[in-house]
Amino acid sequence: MCQLLGMSCNVPTDICFSFEGFHVRGGLTDHHKDGWGIAFFEGVGCRIFHDSKATIESPVADFVRHYPIHSKNVIAHIRRATQGKVALENCHPFRRAMWGRYWTFAHNGTLNDFYPLVPGFFQPVGETDSERAFCYLLNRLQNQFPGPAPNSDQIFQALQGLSEEIAAHGDFNYLLSNGDVLFTHCSTNLHHILRQAPFGCAHLIDQDITMDFSQFTRPDDKVSVIASFPLTDNETWTRMAPGELLMFREGEPVRVGD
């Protein structure tokens, strides 16, 4: 099992505060010690930092903690290996390119007997059920929309059925982004919070750190943070329902699964 962290914003924002609380779950306040990764979209560009070391021991994680990268869509993951050895190729988020855009994906949960035989271009490099699920999703989307890229609403509709189908194999909490929007699907545990004016203070659960967002924001800023479990103890996080799919754009959930 693993933990997920995502962020969607309407202005490029750094994720340092949330990552500060999240990263200690990779070996200190929780047991997700088998690697980690974080993907930042910067326009259509995307960069990923990965390491097969635990976040609390990873020099790369230490660098990310202290280097504020501003992004409108971020996906991070800390791993506790259930399928696939501890290795770089098994660290989330995974990334592929489709329709001339990068797509990144991170998953929490275990899928049992999930070895789909769908002909398609996307193949996993590593050994995880998660990367198989990602490639399966992309192959199915590619097959459904072989021409020009569909719009976000069409992708959302397609993901609803596909997610339900895959979730029949086990827990399928995931984050998926193409830099425009961030899709989140919940099987068991996924929470989100929208921070907007009037901004207040937030206090981390995993470390005794408080951040006063009013010092760093403008009145129109909107930032949604999505995490397996709430990261702060003085804010109200919304728990997603099992089977629920959300789409975040510019910091807000813009469409709710029906």
Query: Should residue 250 be labelled a site residue for its own copies when binding is judged by CB under 8 A?
Result: no
Of 2, 46, 135, 186, catalytic: 2
Tell me which residues in 109-168 interact with its own copies (CB under 8 A). Answer: 121-126
H runs (alpha helix) in the chain: 16-23, 59-66, 129-144, 152-167
Identity of the residue, 149 or 158, whose beta carbon is nearer to its own copies in the bound complex: 149
Smallest gap from Cβ 95 to its own copies, in A, equals 8
Contact predicate 6/75, CB 8 Å: yes
User: Residues 20, 42, 164, 165: which binds its own copies (CB under 8 A)?
Assistant: 42
Smallest gap from Cβ 64 to its own copies, in A, equals 10
Contact predicate 138/96, CB 8 Å: yes
Burial class (CB in 10 A: 0-12, 13-18, 19+), 35: buried
User: Residues 45, 161, 200, 242: which binds its own copies (CB under 8 A)?
Assistant: 45
User: Residues 19, 36, 49, 183: which binds its own copies (CB under 8 A)?
Assistant: 49
Query: Segment contacting its own copies (CB under 8 A): 6-14, 45-53, 106-114, 207-215?
Result: 45-53
User: Residues 102, 136, 156, 172: which binds its own copies (CB under 8 A)?
Assistant: 102
Token pair for residue 60? 């790369």
User: Residues 23, 25, 33, 96: which binds its own copies (CB under 8 A)?
Assistant: 96
Burial class (CB in 10 A: 0-12, 13-18, 19+), 29: middle
Q: Is 9 a catalytic residue?
A: no
Rounded to whole angstroms, the Cα distance separating 26 from 54 reads 6
Q: HSE on the CB side for 31, CA within 13 Å?
A: 3
Identity of the residue, 95 or 203, whose beta carbon is nearer to its own copies in the bound complex: 95
Query: Segment contacting its own copies (CB under 8 A): 8-16, 23-31, 81-89, 165-173?
Result: 81-89
Contact predicate 161/205, CB 8 Å: no
Is residue 173 classed as helix, strand or coil in its secondary structure?
A: strand
Rounded to whole angstroms, the Cα distance separating 99 from 161 reads 21
Rounded to whole angstroms, the Cα distance separating 77 from 32 reads 9
Identity of the residue, 52 or 228, whose beta carbon is nearer to its own copies in the bound complex: 52
Residues that bind its own copies (CB under 8 A): 42-50, 52, 59-60, 63, 67, 87-91, 95-97, 99-102, 121-126
Catalytic residues, by residue number, are 2
